[in-house]
Amino acid sequence: MRQVLLIALSLVVGLSSLSCLAAPAGGGTAAAGSKYDAGQDARIVALEGIILGPNGLQVLVGSLSNKISGVADTSGLSSRLSSAESRISTVESRTTSGGVSQATVDALSARIKTLEDWKAAGGSISGGGTSDPVDGAILDADGDLQLILERTVEEEVWIDDTVSQTWRLTVKNNGTSSTYFRINADFDCEESIAITSATLTPDYSGSGVAVPAAIGVSTVTSIPFLITSTGSSNKIYIGKAREESMFVTLKVDYATAVGKRWTWDFSIRDVE
């Protein structure tokens, strides 16, 4: 009985509490919305604008989705990668099989090797070389002797009638003892030419030198000279670890021509 009485009293207290609830603010009724409801509606409208507006979240999400779809075009990327791999394989096969690419590399390597050898020899050339000699070029070497061109002269020179052409040379002895030498000089004309005379005059700082008598009237394509001493030894002296200057001057007296183009060559021989 006591439990039934307690339950009945609880129901009475609950009903009494419901009768004390305050009316909605602003006099709202169950049929009409309150100011609170109107405020919520305004906020909902604002949120709808943020989400659905022309620059709203929905538009941004759609744009990002399109960009992601473009990035995710794996088939296109795969095609481009396959094409690049094919081109790389072609280049590699040409290089390893001696194709065009390898031939080009070999040609460049050969040219670099030639330049390195030329530089290591101090710019050494032989027989006038395939390019114009430059200052300090080694024209020829034999044993400890070097013949050096001290002033640039083109490989082919135009020599006018009775007008001199001079070469400035240096004879260098790199050895630890003195020695003797001779120099061969040769001049080749571009065609057969009649001359009245040709003389070569050397000027050597170490001692007097002479050449064979001047070449007389003849038709020539080449004029050779031997530069040697005036004495019976027929050789020129140079001391150990020495450098001696030599100026060599050529003059050609043509029979009829006013001038011709000549190539030149100097070589040295070490005479023990």
- Token representation of residue 7: 């339950």
**Quick one: average pLDDT of 109-138?**
59
Q: Is residue 227 part of a domain?
A: yes
Give the C-alpha separation, 37 to 243, whole Å. 113
The reply to whether the predicted model has a pTM over 0.85 is no
**Model pLDDT for residues 235-270, shown as the tens digit of each residue:** 999 999 999 999 999 999 999 999 999 999 999 999
Q: Using CB atoms within 10 A of its CB, is residue 173 exposed (0-12), middle (13-18) or buried (19+)?
A: buried
Q: Is residue 47 part of a domain?
A: no
Give the CATH number of the domain where residue 144 resides. 2.60.40
Domain count of the chain? 1
- pLDDT score for 215: 87
How high does pLDDT run on average in the chain?
76
- pLDDT score for 214: 84
Give the pLDDT band of residue 223 (cuts 50, 70, 90).
very high
Report how far apart the first and last C-alpha atoms of the chain are (Å, whole number).
151
Q: Is residue 160 part of a domain?
A: yes
Residue 3 has pLDDT above 60, yes or no: no
Q: Is residue 16 part of a domain?
A: no
**Quick one: average pLDDT of 204-208?**
77
Q: Is residue 20 part of a domain?
A: no
- pLDDT score for 45: 75
**Quick one: average pLDDT of 20-31?**
51
Q: Which domain holds residue 226?
A: 137-271
Give the pLDDT band of residue 102 (cuts 50, 70, 90).
low
